Amino acid sequence: MSIPTSVLEELLHALPLLRTQIYFKSSLTALSHAMEDQVLAGVEPALVIACFQRERFYRQEAHRYRRISNKTDQVYVLAAPETEFQNSSQIQEAIAFEPDDGLAKEWHLVVLAPNYSTCLVCREKEVVPVKASDLPSMDQSRRFEGIWTFDRQVSSIVARLLLERVRVYRPELEEKIEQAIATYRLRETDKALEAAARFQDVDPGPFVQRLVTYLQAGQHKLVKTYRSMAAQERRERLVNSITTAIRQSLNPADIFQVAVRELGGALDVCRCLIYRCKATDQEAAIAYEFLGRSVKSLTGEVWPLQENPLFQEVVASGERVAVENIRTDTRITGSKRLMTLVQEWEIESWLMVPVLYQNQLVGMVELHHCGCECREWDAEELAMVEAIATQVGVATLQAEAYANLEDLNEQLAALDRTRSNLIAITGHELRTPLSTIQVCLESLASDPDMPPELRQVMLSTALDDAERMRTLVQDFLTLSRLESGRVEWNTEVLPLHECLSLAISSVRTRANSEAGALPTLTLEVPEDLPLVRADGEWLVEVLSKLIDNACKFTPSGGKVTILAQPRGDRELEVKVADTGRGISSDRLETVFDRFYQEEGALRRSTGGTGLGLAICRQIVTGWGGQIWAKSGGKDCGSQFHFTIPIATDSTSEVTPNPRSKSKSSKGDRSSGSSRNRRTPIR
Is 99 or 516 the residue whose CB approaches ligand ADP more closely? 516
Among 102, 114, 264, 612, binds ligand ADP (CB under 6 A): 612
With H, G, I as helix, E, B as strand and everything else as coil, classify residue 603: helix
- The candidate with the shortest Cα–Cα distance to 292, out of 318, 266, 326, is 266
Alpha-carbon distance of 468 to 466, in angstroms, equals 5
The rounded Cα 439 to chain-centroid distance in angstroms is 65
The kind and range of the H/E element at 425 are helix 379-446
Among 33, 276, 581, 669, binds ligand ADP (CB under 6 A): 581
In whole angstroms, how close is the CB of 418 to ligand ADP at the nearest point?
14
Among 583, 644, 646, 681, binds ligand ADP (CB under 6 A): 583
Decide: is 588 part of the binding site for ligand ADP (CB under 6 A).
Answer: no
Stretch that binds ligand ADP, among 154-162, 289-297, 298-306, 578-586 (CB under 6 A): 578-586
Is 114 or 612 the residue whose CB approaches ligand ADP more closely? 612
List CB contacts of 80: < 8 A, sequence separation 6 or more: 52, 53, 54, 55, 96, 97, 98, 99, 101, 103, 104
Alpha-carbon distance of 364 to 366, in angstroms, equals 6
In whole angstroms, how close is the CB of 613 to ligand ADP at the nearest point?
3
Decide: is 597 part of the binding site for ligand ADP (CB under 6 A).
Answer: yes
In whole angstroms, how close is the CB of 597 to ligand ADP at the nearest point?
4
In whole angstroms, how close is the CB of 598 to ligand ADP at the nearest point?
3
For the beta sheet containing 360-370, the strands, ordered from the edge strand earlier in sequence to the opposite edge, are 288-291, 271-276, 360-370, 347-357, 321-323
Is 353 or 479 the residue whose CB approaches ligand ADP more closely? 479
- Determine how many CB atoms are found less than 10 A away from the CB of residue 149: 15
In whole angstroms, how close is the CB of 649 to ligand ADP at the nearest point?
33
In whole angstroms, how close is the CB of 428 to ligand ADP at the nearest point?
13
Decide: is 627 part of the binding site for ligand ADP (CB under 6 A).
Answer: no
Decide: is 598 part of the binding site for ligand ADP (CB under 6 A).
Answer: yes
CA Rg, the chain, in Å? Answer: 50
Q: Which DSSP letter does residue 151 get?
A: -
Among 549, 561, 643, 657, binds ligand ADP (CB under 6 A): 549
Alpha-carbon distance of 626 to 613, in angstroms, equals 12
In whole angstroms, how close is the CB of 627 to ligand ADP at the nearest point?
11
The rounded Cα 433 to chain-centroid distance in angstroms is 57
Decide: is 501 part of the binding site for ligand ADP (CB under 6 A).
Answer: no
In whole angstroms, how close is the CB of 510 to ligand ADP at the nearest point?
13
Q: What is the torsional sign of CA 179, 180, 183, 187?
A: negative
Whether 546 and 506 have beta carbons less than 8 Å apart is answered as no
Decide: is 574 part of the binding site for ligand ADP (CB under 6 A).
Answer: no
Decide: is 608 part of the binding site for ligand ADP (CB under 6 A).
Answer: yes
Alpha-carbon distance of 618 to 608, in angstroms, equals 18
In whole angstroms, how close is the CB of 493 to ligand ADP at the nearest point?
28
Is 500 or 550 the residue whose CB approaches ligand ADP more closely? 550
With H, G, I as helix, E, B as strand and everything else as coil, classify residue 464: helix
Is 127 or 477 the residue whose CB approaches ligand ADP more closely? 477
Decide: is 544 part of the binding site for ligand ADP (CB under 6 A).
Answer: no
- The candidate with the shortest Cα–Cα distance to 87, out of 96, 76, 99, is 96
Alpha-carbon distance of 166 to 177, in angstroms, equals 8
Among 596, 627, 647, 659, binds ligand ADP (CB under 6 A): 596
Decide: is 550 part of the binding site for ligand ADP (CB under 6 A).
Answer: yes
In whole angstroms, how close is the CB of 512 to ligand ADP at the nearest point?
19
Q: How many residues bind ligand ADP (CB under 6 A)?
A: 20
In whole angstroms, how close is the CB of 254 to ligand ADP at the nearest point?
42
**Where would I find the H helices in 249-334?**
252-267, 309-317, 330-333
CA atoms within 13 A on the CB side of 123: 15
In whole angstroms, how close is the CB of 549 to ligand ADP at the nearest point?
3
In whole angstroms, how close is the CB of 529 to ligand ADP at the nearest point?
23
Decide: is 478 part of the binding site for ligand ADP (CB under 6 A).
Answer: no
Is 46 or 601 the residue whose CB approaches ligand ADP more closely? 601
Stretch that binds ligand ADP, among 372-380, 589-597, 663-671, 673-681 (CB under 6 A): 589-597
Is 1 or 517 the residue whose CB approaches ligand ADP more closely? 517
Is 320 or 545 the residue whose CB approaches ligand ADP more closely? 545
Decide: is 610 part of the binding site for ligand ADP (CB under 6 A).
Answer: yes
In whole angstroms, how close is the CB of 476 to ligand ADP at the nearest point?
11
With H, G, I as helix, E, B as strand and everything else as coil, classify residue 515: coil
- The candidate with the shortest Cα–Cα distance to 278, out of 331, 357, 342, is 357
Stretch that binds ligand ADP, among 2-10, 282-290, 436-444, 574-582 (CB under 6 A): 574-582
Decide: is 553 part of the binding site for ligand ADP (CB under 6 A).
Answer: yes
Alpha-carbon distance of 550 to 545, in angstroms, equals 9
Among 591, 627, 644, 647, binds ligand ADP (CB under 6 A): 591
In whole angstroms, how close is the CB of 256 to ligand ADP at the nearest point?
44
Decide: is 103 part of the binding site for ligand ADP (CB under 6 A).
Answer: no
The kind and range of the H/E element at 166 are helix 152-169
Is 436 or 471 the residue whose CB approaches ligand ADP more closely? 471
In whole angstroms, how close is the CB of 614 to ligand ADP at the nearest point?
6
Which residue's Cβ lies closest to ligand ADP? 608
Strand extents, DSSP E, 465-603: 491-494, 520-524, 532-535, 559-567, 571-578
CB-based burial label for 2 (10 Å; 0-12, 13-18, 19+): middle
Among 472, 613, 620, 627, binds ligand ADP (CB under 6 A): 613
Describe the chain by its helix, strand, coil percentages, rounded to 5: 50, 20, 30
In degrees, rounded to 5, the angle at the alpha carbon of residue 266 between the alpha carbons of residues 260 and 267 is: 90
| DSSP per position, 569-593 | TTEEEEEEEE-SS---GGGTTGGGS
Among 578, 579, 627, 644, binds ligand ADP (CB under 6 A): 578
Stretch that binds ligand ADP, among 216-224, 394-402, 520-528, 548-556 (CB under 6 A): 548-556
CB-based burial label for 666 (10 Å; 0-12, 13-18, 19+): exposed
Alpha-carbon distance of 142 to 220, in angstroms, equals 20
Is 158 or 611 the residue whose CB approaches ligand ADP more closely? 611
Whether 367 and 269 have beta carbons less than 8 Å apart is answered as yes
Contact residues for ligand ADP, defined by CB under 6 A: 545, 549-550, 553, 578, 580-581, 583, 591, 596-598, 608-614, 638
